[in-house]
Chain A
Amino acid sequence: MIPVLERTMVAPNIHNLRLQAPDVARSAKPGQFVILQAEEDGERIPLTISDWDAEKGDITVVFMQVGATTGKLALLKAGDSIPTAAGPLGNPMELGNFGTVICVGGCYGIASIYPIARALKEMNNRVICVVEARSSFLFYWQEKLRKTSDEMIFITRDGSLGRRGHINNLGSIIPSIKGGVDRVIINGCNYVMMRGCEETRPLGIKTIVSLNTLMIDGTGMCGVCRVTVNGSNKFACVDGPHFDGHEVNWDELSSRRQAYLREETVTLRTSAPEKER
């Protein structure tokens, strides 16, 4: 059993969950995830390890409450426990001294981009964080992100903070950055990642995304997480979840991701504007 140390709502529908998982905390690297169960015999879902403390032995995941399992996780309180938190799974994000890196985060990606930004900053990159939400009250973890970035850019759909619009702003943000951009890393819902890639593709900037597929085991055993990248079949859990976004077959990915979704609930879970849904 995995003890729950803390669970708080950091923005409407977005929760911070801190768990005691010393072995996971000791091995975690930026970009890796855990598979959680909210209860015995329940669904297994992947959530990114958005922060951790190897010494104290805890890990933090930030999740958006969208369905059955995240709904149960959202009810946890300190002192409760959950049966499963297996990880760290997946490959770590490729790190290095790239120069100037834009880290883009939307919804839960605002948190999951944080350890990546932190590591890149430690490696002396110029880190620019771009965070995106429907409205300013949906932002969270801003202080943490500010500390790990040289600059922060906000985008809101309603214009309540920063630029107005959505992720397509990236197309105008990038050229405005002096000295150019060497790499873009996007975390968030598949829509944000896909649209972001459309903006960076014509600019020829390498763009890494962390794919959000269905998963069961997270160890390469079931194949439910398969995606087509550069024409070949990959298992997101063991070959990814990070891929070059310009090589991902997005149509296939979104149809596979939604295999079990009822149409009417889609609206609750995407930040895509109506006409592009």
Chain B
Amino acid sequence: MNLQRVEMSKQKPEVRRQNFDEVAFGYTPEEAMAEASRCLDCKKPGCVGNCPVEVNIPDFIRCIKAGDFAEGIRIIRQKNCLPAVTGRVCPQEEQCEGGCVFAKRGGQIAIGRLERFLADWEASQGINTGSIKKPRPTGRKVAVIGGGPAGLTVAGDLIQLGHQVTVYEALHKVGGVLVYGIPEFRLPKRIVRREVDYLTSLGVEMVTSYVVGKTRTVDSLLEEYDAIFVGSGAGLPWFMEIPGNNLNGVYSANEYLTRMNLMKGYTFPSVQTPIKQHHRVAVIGGGNVAMDCARTALRLGAEAHIVYRRSRQELPARLEEVENAEEEGVIFDFLTLPLACLGNENSWVTGLSCQKMELGEPDASGRRSPVAIPGSEFVMPVDAIIYAIGNSPNPLIPSTTPGLAIGRKGNIEAEEATGKTSKARVWAGGDVVTGAATVILAMGAGRKAARAIHRYLQTLEEE
């Protein structure tokens, strides 16, 4: 057993912290083949069951080993319509790679990097191997609400089954968090663009700047479509209930990242999106979103701090992203609880008042929760504060769709296996059902819903 993963080369930290280009370069064909050759092609592979869309991992790795990249990407695309995305952003350590037989000994096959390699190879060849034969049109129409990974998966699956699909997206670009949230240096926008263009070439109609619930309600769409999938995500940002939140210079992660990504603020002033030059930025939170904000702030020339109330071990972000952030020079202030945003007479942020914490005794769940250290209050001088503490589903669709059962957290209630909601002919999946989760879980939910929608549409045909 060879436990040595083939490393993927990256831009050097001191270089990449100055630019918005992608951090990791990806494998060369030789590196990919070397990494692939470590795979044992297990009879009962643990990896596949751990992938929410059940990519046939051993098969595509075998193709890489043999140098047949075209066949490899074809195998992936049977199950995964966004491989260039998932290969980059899936939390592989918890998903596919976590199930690999090597994982226990720390040398799991770099499945994500291999997947990315094949997707990038495909792009470099200027081909798309998804679907070649045109399906027979069924005459059935499906509306997909939200152009994030959940919605795009449903669109891709159903169009290939011959149904007519229209995606309605509120923003002016399709891709969901992939375009407005995850920064360019982690997921170049041209990659999302390419996948969306591919779906368009299959015949999916993309309608942007269309806010369902406002421009048109779900009920009104139901008059025109046979089925509806709601994949509207979890886009409503949370703020802490502390004083000073509405000072200038306090942002939600969504605002900050949207300005930088969707609106290309990082190229200001060549585009109109105004951005401020901040010098010292505090990002509150410890997940992927917080890392993305801190690393963006850093690239715009600020000293970036992550303010997190627990310790490094508890950081919910992917380890790889934490390490990238550390290498680039993001400063981590662990065991630190924000108390108030402070401002000057012009209502601009001047500091974040904080308190130090320590980890207390393990509670019933075994987790050591942080407790405040009395008298440890201090002020962190900063000129911007970014909240990256979570999002919940947007109420726009729930509040305008009678008969749709809504959970306590504002999420749409849907059956796990099928995405079926309480409302006839309406399915839902992704973050709007689960709350903020991951790209691949959203895609998995989309896949299940697409299957269920297809089954339903077939019953109509038989009538």
Contacts and interface: CB of A to CB of B under 8 A. Distances in A.
Interface of A: 23-24, 26-27, 35, 37, 40-44, 68-69, 83-89, 216-224, 226-228, 233, 238, 251-252, 255-256, 259-260
Contacts, number: 109
Interface string B243-255: 0011011011011
Contact of A216 (B216, B255, B394): B255
Contact of A252 (B246, B252, B259, B271): B246
Contacts of B215: 23-24, 27, 86-88
Contacts of A227: 246
A227 B395 CA distance: 18
Contacts of A41: 263-264, 271-273
27 contacts: A23-B216, A27-B214, A27-B215, A41-B263, A42-B271, A44-B172, A44-B263, A86-B215, A217-B170, A217-B258, A219-B235, A219-B396, A220-B395, A221-B180, A221-B236, A221-B237, A221-B258, A221-B394, A222-B254, A222-B258, A224-B252, A224-B255, A226-B246, A251-B347, A255-B347, A256-B248, A259-B248
Given A42-B271, A256-B248, A84 B216 contact: no
A224 B346 CA distance: 18
B236 to A, nearest CB: 6
B273 A222 contact: no
Contact of A84 (B172, B214, B258, B346): B172
Contacts of A255: 248, 346-347
Interface string B108-146: 000000000000000000000000000000000000000
- Of B211, B237, B258, most A-chain CB atoms within 10 Å: B211
A106 to B, nearest CB: 24
Contacts of A256: 246, 248, 347
Contacts of A42: 271-273
| Chain B interface, >50% SS class | loop
A226 B239 CA distance: 11
A87 B214 contact: yes
Interface of B: 170-172, 180, 208-211, 214-216, 235-237, 239, 245-246, 248-249, 251-252, 254-255, 258-259, 263-264, 271-274, 276, 346-347, 394-396
Contacts of B258: 216-217, 221-222
B205 to A, nearest CB: 14
Contacts of B346: 255
Contacts of B237: 221-223
Nearest to A69: B272
Contacts of B235: 219-221
A238 B395 CA distance: 9
A86 B209 contact: yes
A223 B274 contact: no
A241 to B, nearest CB: 13
Contacts of A88: 214-215
A219 B396 CA distance: 8
A228 B347 CA distance: 14
Given A23-B215, A43-B272, A84-B172, A222 B252 contact: yes
Contact of B172 (A83, A224, A228, A252): A83
Contacts of B271: 41-42
Nearest to B209: A86
B179 to A, nearest CB: 12
- Of A26, A37, A85, A226, most B-chain CB atoms within 10 Å: A226
A221 B254 contact: yes
